[in-house]
Amino acid sequence: MTKWRSMRKSEKAKTEKLLFSHENRCINICSRYINRKYFNSKIWVLRDLSREVYALVLYSNQNLMVLLCGQTKIPPLKFLFGIFSDIPIHSLQGTREDVLTTETSLEKNGVAAVEQIDYDLMHIDCLPSGYSLAGPSGLVIRKAELCDIDDLAELQAAYEKEEVLSSEKKFNPVLSRLNTEKILRCEQVFLAELGGRIIGKINTNAASFTRFQIGGVYVHPDYRGMGIARKMAGEFVKELINQGRGISLFVKKTNPAAFSVYRSIGFKAQGDYRICYYK
């Protein structure tokens, strides 16, 4: 077994081969890899005796992402502690198996997460179904426009408070607004509108080699249980599939209602994802 080291230019093709072969399960890592210059990402790889890259660790914007491909004895503690002591780590994420391997090694040596969240990974590669009649009469699903920024920012703030913020983080309205502007500028966004009021949103939050990842799905609490999320997700997935890409997402294990919505329009479960948060 060779040592972990920073990815070299000569290893780019082999690193991309590894990522592409696991794309369904690691869109976040693929996206940060593709945009590594923009995010100023750091990448470490592990090679076998034939010099093939078979494991990867990527650091980007205080997030540590692991792709260990089932290896249970890596990465070594000296390497992990070197990362944690040199750069700030807010989260550790990846498939549940890979994160548990890393998390367990850290815990045995005094580095413990303050919060762990498990998710179901889901995917769809064909046009969705079972959503066309969902939602109340008069519901409009449409693309977001620049003039929607204030309404979108309100929904994004509520989404972050309810679904995103870890127990260690406080809501920051300025950062939330900036995040909304970035989503509207860089991602694809659909809105749900009823009676002239914007009551729901859904957007992409990552793109890999051949897939989009959906995130930011939120319906105002006063309008839940009416089929709005199903209609919104169905229309959005249809739009993205027609662009020639597959779709992936992950949903909290504690949110069976959302899991049911996605499954009802054609998503299939494909594994588990895990995010650990650190001080």
The pLDDT of residue 73 = 66
The per-residue pLDDT for 37 is 87
pLDDT at 49: 77
Reply yes or no on whether the pLDDT at 137 is more than 70.
yes
Higher pLDDT, residue 232 or 69: 232
**pLDDT attached to residue 38:** 84
For residue range 12-60, list pLDDT tens digits in order.
999 999 999 999 999 999 999 999 988 888 899 988 878 889 999 999 9
Nearest to 203 by CA among 167, 232, 160, 170: 232
Residue with tokens 């080699």: 209
What pLDDT, on the 0 to 100 scale, is given for residue 243? Answer: 97
- Identity of residue 250: F
Average pLDDT over residues 61-69: 90
3-state secondary structure of 117: strand
pLDDT in tens, 159-218: 999 988 876 678 999 999 999 999 999 999 999 999 999 999 999 999 999 999 999 999
The pLDDT-based confidence of 9 (bands split at 50, 70, 90) is: very high
State the pLDDT confidence band at 2, using cuts at 50, 70 and 90. low
Structural contact between residues 93 and 206, judged by C-beta atoms closer than 8 angstroms: no
pLDDT tens for each residue of 222-240: 999 999 999 999 999 999 9
Round the average pLDDT of the chain to a whole number and report it.
Answer: 91
Q: What is the three-class DSSP state of 53?
A: strand
Chain centroid, CA 43 distance in Å:
18
The Cα 4–Cα 160 span in angstroms is 35
**In which order are the strands placed within the sheet that holds 91-95?**
5-6, 42-47, 53-60, 63-67, 91-95, 268-277, 115-124, 246-252, 211-219, 197-207, 189-194, 140-143
pTM: predicted TM-score of the whole model, two decimal places: 0.90
pLDDT of 138 reads 97
- Residue 134 reports pLDDT greater than 90: yes
pLDDT at position 47 is 84
- How do residues 76-127 score in pLDDT, each as one tens digit? 666 776 666 677 788 999 999 999 998 988 888 788 899 999 999 999 999 9
**Span 133-145, mean pLDDT?**
97
User: Does residue 1 surpass a pLDDT of 60?
Assistant: no
